[in-house]
Chain A
C-alpha cells in the first residue's frame, strides 16, 4: 500500500503557504494560505494580474524572498523521487547549505528579464559552467564542455562560438535561451519560470514556449510557469492556478478552467482575454473614411554615424525607412510591430518629438490649412500640438509626481492661455467625469492612483484641449488585461462624441484588432503591409504578417496553435 501512495507523491506539495511583508506597522499579505501540488512531467501555470502574489509564491519555493518578506506559515514539501521522504523547504534556513543543494540544482528558476539576470562581464559559456563548478559536480573543463552542449540543447546556433560571447551580444530571445540553458545545467527536476516571455516579442515568445515544452518532454521536468497572459496559459498548461490578491481563487485542469470557470474573477479574466483575443468577433464596423487629415510621405529617420575621438564607431543607422501613409478623419489607425520595428519612433516623428531626417508630415488643421510638421516653426508646431495629443506608455512616468491631478490636467489649458481660475477648475472636473473618475479626486497627487486610473488621468489631459487626433503609444501595454479592455472601451466611447481620430501604436495584435479600423504592420523601420484590420488579421498577404499572426497565443486550450510546429 505504501508503495502505491508513494508513486503518486507529487514532486512539490505546497500546503498553506503564507508569505508576508512587514512594512513598518503594516503587514502586507503577499501570499496567503496557498496550496497546490506539482507532479512530475506536469506544467502548472500560476496566472494572475500584477500584485496577485504569483511571483512571490514562486520565489518563496526557493526561499528567494528578500527582506522584509518572510514565509510565515505552511510547508513546501519537495520529494526528488517518489520513494524518498519529502523535505520541507520552508523549514530550511534561507542561507544554509541544504537550500543551496536544492536551489539551482534540484529546482531551477528562469526570470523575466534575461539581461539583468545574466552577468554582463562574463562569457555566456562560463556563466553556465559556473553553476556546475559551484555545486561541485564537475571540474572547470568538463563544465565548459557541458555548457556548449546545453547551448546546443536550447537551439542556439553555433554553440561553441556562442559560449565565448557576452550577454550584450545576444538578442533578448537568445539571452532567454541562455538563461534556460543555465537553469538546466544541473539537471534539475523542477523548472520555475517567472514570466519568462513577457519581455519578448510575440514570435520569440512562441519559440521559447516551444523550447520549454521540448526540454520538458526530453528531461521529464515538472514546470511551474508564472504568467499574466491567459493566451500563454491556454497554450501550455496542464493545470492552472488563478491567484488574486495573494490567494488562490481557482485551481483546475486547463480545459475545465477555460470551459467552465467557477470563480467570478476567473470569469472576468477570461472574458477580458477573449475580448482582446484573435478569435473574438471584431469590435467595430469599418467606418467609411472622412477626408484625409494627415499625409505622411516618405518619412525617414537616420541616426548619423557617430565619430568618437579614436575611431568611427557605428555606421549610420536608419530607424525609419521611407514611411508613407494617410490618416483619414474619424479613423483609428493601428501601427503594429515587434520591438525595434520603429513604431514608437514613427509616432514621435509625427508629433516632432523627433525630427525626421527626410520626408513630410502634412497635417490639415481644423481650419483646413495644411502645414508640414516635419519642418514647422515653433509657433506652427505649438498650434498643431493643441490638435494632436499624445498618450504615453507608462502612466507612472507621464504624470509629474509633484503636481496634483487638477494641475496635471489643467496644465495644457493654462499654458495655452485658454482657461484659468474657476473656469479651469470646472473644466478639469468635467474632464475627470468624462474619463470616469469622480471630480473630488482633483486635489490628489498621482501617487494615490493605480495604473489604470493614472492612464485615465493622462487621457483626460490629452482631451483637455479638444484635440482632433490622439497618438497613443502603447497606451495599454503597462496595464493588466482587465483594465486594458476598460481603457480601450473608454476611448471607443469617447471617439464619436468628441470626433477623435487615433493613431494607436501597439505590439499587441489583439488590442489593435479590437480598436483599429486600419492597421500598418511595421518591420525594421519600414511598412510591411497596410490595410483594413479584418483583412490583415484574417487574410494577410505578407509572410512577415503571417508569422506574426501565427505566433499570437490563442486563449483557447482546445486550439493550441503554438506548440504544433
Chain B
C-alpha cells in the first residue's frame, strides 16, 4: 500500500479552517449554550422597545416598590378552564403593628396578559413608531410588575430590558476600540520585534500597572457636566477601552511571534510573497479565530467596568438607563431590604458575563485544539 492511496473523500476534507473551528465549537455544550444566550441577550438589546412590557420611564407614584407578581396560566372560570395568562391584582395595606406599607394579594382581581399587546407608544431606534409589546396587559392602563417596581413605581423588567442596550453595546464598542488599538500595536510589536517590541511592551506594562478604578474615576470625572448623555456614553466607552486594549495587544503579539517562526510563513517568504501578503494572506487568517475568542473574553470586562463606573455614579447617569445605573438604586440597605428585586440588574450582568465567558472559552478551545 502506498501513501498516495487516499481515504475516500469525506465532506470534512474540503472544510475550511473556519468551518472546523465551528464544528469543534459545536461539540462544546456549555459554550453552545453560552452563545445561544449571548445571541438572545443582544437581540433583547436591539429590540428592547418591543420586548419590554412598558416604557421604562412610566412611573406610578401609588405603586412604589411593588413586589413581583407571579404569572398564572390556567384561568378557572364558571364555564370551565381556559389557557389565559394573568396576574392577581394587589392592594395596599398597612401592617397593624409597624404601620409599614404592604401590598396584599387581591385574589378577586385578575389582570389578563396577552402577547403583542398594544401599550405605551415608542419609537424603535428613535425612528419607527409603534405601540406593540411582546407581552403586556390586555388593558394598557392596568399596571403589571413581573419583576417588581422601583422607588418611583417604574417596571424593573422594562428597565432591565432597556438597560441591556447601553450595557451590552458599551461592551461591543469598547472592544472594537480595544481591538483596533490591540491589533495595531500588538501586530507591530510581534511582527517587527526588536526595539519597537520592547518599547510597546513597556508602555503596556505601565498601563497595566495603573490602578484602573481611580484612573477611570478621574477620567470620567473630568468629562464636562453638561455633556449630552450620548456624548457621555461615547466618552465612557473610550475611557474603558483605553485600558482594555493592552490585553488584546498581548494576545495578538503572542500569536504573531508564534506564527513568525512557523515554517509555512518562511515558506511563503521563500515563495516570493511580499510583506503585506505574508501578513494579510498568511498570518492574519490564522489569527482570526484566536482574536474572536480573545474579544469574546474581553467584552465581559468592559461590561463590568461600565457597571462599576455607573454604580459609583460617574458613568452613565439617569435618565440614561444601564445595568450599572439601575444598580445604583440598590446602593442603600433600606431599599434592598424593602425591595430585593432591585438587585436583579446584577443578575442580568452576571448571566451576560458568564454566557460570554463560556462562549469565549469554547471558541478559544476550538481555535486552538492543542492549546491545553
A residues apposed to B, CB below 8 Å: 24, 351, 353, 382, 385-386, 389-390, 392-394, 397-402, 404, 411-412, 415-416, 436-438, 440-441, 443-445, 447-450, 452-453, 456, 458, 461, 482-483, 486
C-alpha spacing A486/B286, complex, angstroms: 32
**A-B pairs with beta carbons under 8 Å apart, 6 shown:** A390-B270, A398-B263, A415-B271, A415-B277, A438-B4, A448-B10
Q: Report which of B2, B4, B14, B17 forms a contact with A443, defined as CB distance below 8 A.
A: B14
Whether A441 contacts B6 in the complex (CB less than 8 A), given A386-B272, A400-B264, A412-B271, comes out as yes
C-alpha spacing A348/B29, complex, angstroms: 46
Measured CB to CB, the nearest residue on chain A to B267 is A398
Given contacts A399-B264, A411-B268, A450-B3, 17 further A-B contacts (CB under 8 A): A385-B272, A397-B263, A400-B286, A401-B264, A402-B17, A412-B271, A415-B272, A437-B6, A438-B4, A445-B14, A445-B16, A447-B17, A448-B7, A452-B3, A453-B4, A456-B4, A461-B267
Measured CB to CB, the nearest residue on chain A to B285 is A402
Is B36 an interface residue, CB under 8 A from the partner? no
Contact B14 A412 (CB under 8 A): no
Q: Report which of B14, B263, B264, B267 forms a contact with A444, defined as CB distance below 8 A.
A: B14
Is B92 an interface residue, CB under 8 A from the partner? no
Residues of A near B12 (CB, < 8 A) are 448
Is B139 an interface residue, CB under 8 A from the partner? no
Contact B268 A400 (CB under 8 A): yes
Residues of A near B2 (CB, < 8 A) are 436, 486
C-alpha spacing A483/B14, complex, angstroms: 24
Contact A447 B20 (CB under 8 A): yes
Q: How large is the interface on B (under 10, 10 to 19, 20 to 34, 35 or more residues)?
A: 20 to 34
Is B331 an interface residue, CB under 8 A from the partner? no
Give min CB distance, A265 to chain B, whole Å: 9
C-alpha spacing A506/B285, complex, angstroms: 33
Residues of B near A24 (CB, < 8 A) are 27
Contact A400 B282 (CB under 8 A): yes
Contact B272 A398 (CB under 8 A): no
Residues of A near B329 (CB, < 8 A) are none
Whether A392 contacts B263 in the complex (CB less than 8 A), given A401-B286, A438-B6, A456-B4, comes out as yes
Residues of B near A453 (CB, < 8 A) are 3-4, 6
| A-B pairs with lowest CB-CB distance, top 3 | A452-B3, A448-B13, A412-B271
C-alpha spacing A399/B263, complex, angstroms: 8
C-alpha spacing A354/B17, complex, angstroms: 31
Residues of A near B20 (CB, < 8 A) are 447
Q: Report which of B16, B271, B274 forms a contact with A402, defined as CB distance below 8 A.
A: B16
C-alpha spacing A453/B2, complex, angstroms: 10
Give min CB distance, A49 to chain B, whole Å: 11
Residues of A near B9 (CB, < 8 A) are 440, 444
Residues of B near A445 (CB, < 8 A) are 13-17
Is B262 an interface residue, CB under 8 A from the partner? yes
Residues of A near B176 (CB, < 8 A) are none
Is B60 an interface residue, CB under 8 A from the partner? no
